[in-house]
Amino acid sequence: MSSEYRTHPVDAESEERLTAQDLRYGILDNGDAEAFRGWLHADSRGFHDSRPTQQAVDAQQKGLEYRRALGVWDDASPDPVVPVATVASWPAQLTVPGETSVTGWAISSVTVAPTHRRKGVARALLEGELRTAHDLGLPLAMLTVSEATIYGRFGFAPAAMAATWKIDTRRAGWSGPRPDGRVRFLSLDQLSEQRAELLERARLSVPGEIEHWDYLWHRMLGAAHEGKDNGKDLHAVRYDDADGVAQGFALYRFTEQDQEFASHVLDLHYLLAVTDDAYAGLWRYLLEMDLVRQVHAPLRSVDEPVAWQITDQRAARKSNEGDHLWVRILDAKAALEGRRYRAPGRIGLRVTDPLGFVEGDVLVEIGADGAASVSPLKGEAPDGVAELALSAADLGALYLGGVSAGTLVRAGRVTELRPGSADVLDGSFRSPVTPWLSIWF
């Protein structure tokens, strides 16, 4: 996609609503250092974070240049360079079932100053983002959320979950494969150079993953911080297969320890495996580490194979399991044709959408090759076609194949218009790999 999205005019409807409140809605000029500082300050303040240092401002002004950053300014405020609301968005590849990807509108930095809350500013921003993404021809929008109560009203729903795993290393006992490859330390600079290629090779293997950006890794490796979190205590290892080809890496630090230094907690920041062997090799390395009592692994898949690679399954505890990536379908045809399906089928979907983007009835026809063709469904569905009624948000939940239509029917969210339709949908839509997103954005 060209960079036209950065200068695409702000949404006229939202602009009108904000102007009526004497607020100015506009695109941040990323090249204006003072304006950028003000915007970043508002973004950090929105999440109760400290004021960004000049180093952070400089790094982000450059590192996040590709984003379309919008602000809402109140020119009557004592410090008018700091906006009272922020949002940033950019087109990013989202992995979908079938080891392929679609371009989604990633939305981040949604903040409204506490001085301007609950006056409809976030609604204007969010609806503006959705209309902009739709105008740009993108099939869906996506975000990760601070609170699970905010975005359902805009037609988003959780489509990929995440969980924290805590594994008691002294109980676990490795029973998984013992591949021939080697685990080797590498410097953070080396990881910084090599991670993009490894991430790219793994990107299409798990639905729900989105394209990473360089600044994210700059920060993950501690380079964006002065003093605290500066990366000094991070350790990086790489897994090389028997032929010496790099197939994964892990990034971790030690957090707690007892007085005898024999009982550390290993905090896993990131583990990437291109192959199953790399996955087994890296997890075995972590779980068999001396002087460690627990591996603490936040933001992992809810369905980690490592739970089946240890002798005592009760040594692995999952917590914080819940929504992580939220998806909002904006174009049913493009989104549904963009992914692959595990079985052929013909499914009629009658979709309601208060914001209008995907309101209407469509027929999804999935061929033996797992590709779908989506057309308008006019009148009665043909005989033998499964048929369901659902909201735009439910379509978002089902999209990556991690949520079951049967469950949503039992929850009273999706309605089967013909008996057995949820089963047909699940037979085609469910992803063989549980959707997961490994980062926040």
Ligand X SMILES: CC(C)(COP(=O)(O)OP(=O)(O)OC[C@H]1O[C@@H](n2cnc3c(N)ncnc32)[C@H](O)[C@@H]1OP(=O)(O)O)[C@@H](O)C(=O)NCCC(=O)NCCS
Among 18, 69, 145, 224, the residue binding ligand X under the rule CB under 6 A is: 145
Residue 227: CB atoms within 10 A of its CB come to: 6
Among 35, 36, 39, 46, the residue binding ligand X under the rule CB under 6 A is: 46
Nearest CB to ligand X, comparing residues 4 and 147: 147
For residues 98-127, which are near ligand X according to CB under 6 A?
Answer: 110-112, 117-123
CB 23 within 8 A of CB 72: yes
- For the CB of residue 405, give the shortest distance to ligand X in the complex, in Å: 26
Among 4, 22, 75, 147, the residue binding ligand X under the rule CB under 6 A is: 147
Residue 368: CB atoms within 10 A of its CB come to: 7
Please report where in the chains the tokens 């954005």 appear, as a residue.
441
By CB under 6 A, tell whether 153 contacts ligand X: yes
Among 115, 149, 187, 259, the residue binding ligand X under the rule CB under 6 A is: 149
- For the CB of residue 88, give the shortest distance to ligand X in the complex, in Å: 11
CB 402 within 8 A of CB 207: yes
Burial class (CB in 10 A: 0-12, 13-18, 19+), 259: exposed
Only segment of 142-150, 242-250, 298-306, 378-386 that touches ligand X (CB under 6 A)? 142-150
By CB under 6 A, tell whether 146 contacts ligand X: yes
By CB under 6 A, tell whether 150 contacts ligand X: yes
Among 1, 47, 193, 321, the residue binding ligand X under the rule CB under 6 A is: 47
CA distance 345 to 365: 6
- For the CB of residue 68, give the shortest distance to ligand X in the complex, in Å: 17
The helix/strand count (H/E) of the chain reads as 12, 17
Nearest CB to ligand X, comparing residues 2 and 149: 149
Only segment of 149-157, 225-233, 384-392, 397-405 that touches ligand X (CB under 6 A)? 149-157
Nearest CB to ligand X, comparing residues 89 and 111: 111
Query: Tokens in use for 144?
Result: 């990760």
- For the CB of residue 150, give the shortest distance to ligand X in the complex, in Å: 5
Q: What's the gap between Cα 205 and its chain centre?
A: 14
The residue at minimum Cβ distance from ligand X is 122
Nearest CB to ligand X, comparing residues 58 and 127: 127
- How do beta strands 235-240 and 246-254 pair? antiparallel
Binding footprint of ligand X, residue count (CB under 6 A): 18
- For the CB of residue 149, give the shortest distance to ligand X in the complex, in Å: 4
Query: Tokens in use for 435?
Result: 């959707």
By CB under 6 A, tell whether 391 contacts ligand X: no
Nearest CB to ligand X, comparing residues 30 and 108: 108
CA distances, 259 to each of 5, 264, 268 (Å): 55, 10, 22
Please report where in the chains the tokens 């998984």 appear, as a residue.
176
Tell me the per-residue interface mask from 281 to 320 with ligand X, x by CB under 6 A, - otherwise: ----------------------------------------
Short-list 274, 340, 272, CA closest to 99: 340
Percent helix / strand / coil, the chain, rounded to 5: 30, 30, 40
For residue 371, list its beta bridge partners: none
- For the CB of residue 45, give the shortest distance to ligand X in the complex, in Å: 9
- For the CB of residue 108, give the shortest distance to ligand X in the complex, in Å: 8
Only segment of 146-154, 162-170, 349-357, 427-435 that touches ligand X (CB under 6 A)? 146-154
Largest Cα span, the chain: 74
Short-list 29, 49, 48, 47, CA closest to 39: 29
- For the CB of residue 49, give the shortest distance to ligand X in the complex, in Å: 10
- For the CB of residue 106, give the shortest distance to ligand X in the complex, in Å: 12
CB 100 within 8 A of CB 371: no
Nearest CB to ligand X, comparing residues 62 and 117: 117
Say whether 9 sits in a helix, a strand or coil.
coil
Query: Tokens in use for 212?
Result: 């990473």
Residues sharing a CB contact under 8 Å with residue 252, sequence separation 6 or more, in sequence order: 234, 235, 266, 267, 268, 269, 286
Q: Which residues bind ligand X (CB under 6 A)?
A: 46-47, 110-112, 117-123, 145-147, 149-150, 153
